[in-house]
Copies of this chain bind each other. A is one copy, B any other.
Amino acid sequence: MDVPSHPMTAHVDCRGVSEILGRIGDKWTVLVVMSLNEQPRRFNDIKRRVGGISQQMLTRTLKMLERDGMVARDVRDTTPPQVEYRLTELGRSLADPVNQLGAWANANLAAINGNRTRYDMRNADAG
């Protein structure tokens, strides 16, 4: 069971964090998960909710989530076809730590942005 060459394998939870960020740390995955966490949705419904995502990326993201067993795909064979996506138990369980991160973000993003601005102002003229 070799994790290809991920760093800090000595520290177990470090590897875990690194692994999981490699999976959900992309631009859209958590947004899709969070939209599905509210309720099952169909393709274009998700696309509308997660504004700005291309159809290509939504397809890819859903496929990866399905592959990981985070999302289930229910097809109703009508015309036009209706495909509904829903979180599995695994997918729902991810929402908890993600929301923790969201809470931290909302509590600290303003401070971080302030830090950035000050840092940039200091290094603008002073170098």
Contacts and interface: CB of A to CB of B under 8 A. Distances in A.
Interface string A65-103: 011111000000000000000000010011011111111
B34 A105 contact: no
Contact of A5 (B34, B52, B90, B113): B52
A1 interface: yes
A90 B112 contact: yes
A122 to B, nearest CB: 10
Counting every copy of the chain, the complex holds: 2
**Majority-rule SS of A interface residues:** helix
Question: What bracket does the count of chain A residues touching chain B fall in?
Answer: 35 or more
A5 B52 CA distance: 8
Most central of A8, A19, A49, A113 by chain B CB within 10 Å: A8
A13 B100 contact: no
